[in-house]
Amino acid sequence: MVQRQLPNPAELLELMQFKKPELDGRKRRLEGALTIHDLRTIAKRRTPKAAFDYTDGAAEGELSLTRARQAFEDIEFHPGVLRPAENVDMSTEILGGPSALPFGIAPTGFTRLMQTEGEIAGASAAGAAGIPFTLSTLGTTSIEDVKKANPNGRNWFQLYVMRDREISYALARRAAAAGFDTLQFTVDTPVAGARLRDKRNGFSIPPQLTLGTIINAIPRPWWWYDFLTTPKLEFASLSTTGGTVGELLNSAMDPTISFDDLAIIREIWPGKIVVKGVQNVEDSKRLIDAGVDGIILSNHGGRQLDRAPIPFHLLPHVVREVGRDATVMVDTGIMNGADIVASIALGAKFTLIGRAYLYGLMAGGRQGVDRTIAILRSEIERTMKLLGVSTLAELEPKHVTQLQRLVPVAQPAAARAPRRVATKA
């Protein structure tokens, strides 16, 4: 028989510890976000549909983005047991400088549209965390103001080659003069991808008000208050600011971009140069032969060519061919610190986060970006400890198996055989 007694009030008080309420609404909602997906949920609730969809969406059927995220989920880790990893070192050297974590913030355009603190929040958070921040050509904060926000940290600049080449050259020179140490030369945007969410929303810079956008904005007065009481939203590096995203990109980008342009930028830029948007092994080899310092395997977050190769699947093949000669990095689809650990294990020297950073920005400005970094940091640390590794250098391909859902269909023998050319007897 179980012995029963009347509850002892003193014992009840020990069991019932009431948590002190958090009166700061922003801090309360950010502390409740345990994953990047949680931050995305908050961001969607707090941001008008057009701005959120611009961040969240991708090109056409959004297959590239879906597949990229799925590829990270479809992995199997292989932990080592009885290998103490009490203290984990997540720092690394990348492109001639330090980073406290194996990821940096990727370039994103129109950033102040998502949340008014924009690139200032991203750059200052990156500086505080000791990781690189990348400013986009289509950024809404100037090169010089980003430097002020992150004066002692590492700033990188992402460059599009435009129809008017002198604009691109001048931007590269400005970034170099401001002390930016790495240039991301982006090559996957000869024309704009078909971002259908933006077209359906009538998304433009500056935002155009319609009955739909007004109705959608009614429950989000804080966003409009920030938007209307802060400096005008415009591109900090470009003079053209009107039109849809596709129209702006098509007016700025140039489909004739070539290796000749890379050679010119290489001469202009005094620091490290990496090429962003590489999507096959052959191009990786050719770029390394052309003298770049590194490559970023990326399909632009699925925002350009839909059904493009999955960067994470491409990673081990590229590392095998050029990993000894160059720095190989990867982006697209990263939503968890475990994604970053898997990338490092398969040979990436570094990773970049885009949407994950913007979800935090939309959820809570600078504090939201800090929360993004904190979530990823804790996930990386926990994953490494569970794998039994104490440093990034200990991560190896043996720790990860990629489980593929999409297996290429083998060509019929007749299709593989060389065609015979009939000759006259």
Residue 362 exposure: Cα atoms within 13 Å on the Cβ side: 32
Give residues with Cβ within 8 angstroms of 277, minimum separation 6.
Answer: 186, 187, 188, 189, 296, 298, 299, 300, 304
Tally of CB atoms within 10 A around 295:
25
How far is 249 from 200, CA to CA, in rounded Å? 17
Largest CA distance in the chain: 109
HSE-CB for 83 with a 13 A CA cutoff: 14
H-type alpha helices, 229-354: 245-252, 259-268, 281-289, 311-322, 337-345
Question: 276 φ, ψ to 5°?
Answer: -105, 130
Annotated active-site positions, please? 300
Q: Token digits for 386?
A: 């569970």
Structure tokens at 242: 């009107």
Which pair of structure tokens corresponds to residue 312?
Answer: 């994470």
Long-range pairs, 263-269, Cβ under 8 A, ≥24: 263/290, 264/165, 264/169, 265/159, 265/161, 265/168, 265/169, 265/172, 265/183, 265/185, 266/290, 266/291, 266/292, 268/169, 268/172, 268/173, 268/176, 269/172, 269/176, 269/183
Look up tokens 């939201």; give the residue.
368
Q: Which residues of 390-415 are buried (b: 16+ CB within 10 A; e: fewer)?
A: bebebbeeebbebeeeeeeeeeeeee
SS3 200: helix
Task: Report whether 36 contacts 376 (CB < 8 A).
Answer: yes
Question: 3-class DSSP state for residue 277?
Answer: strand
3-state helix, strand, coil in the chain (%, to 5): 45, 15, 40
- Separation CA 120–CA 332 (nearest Å): 23
Distance CA 98, CA 111 (A): 26
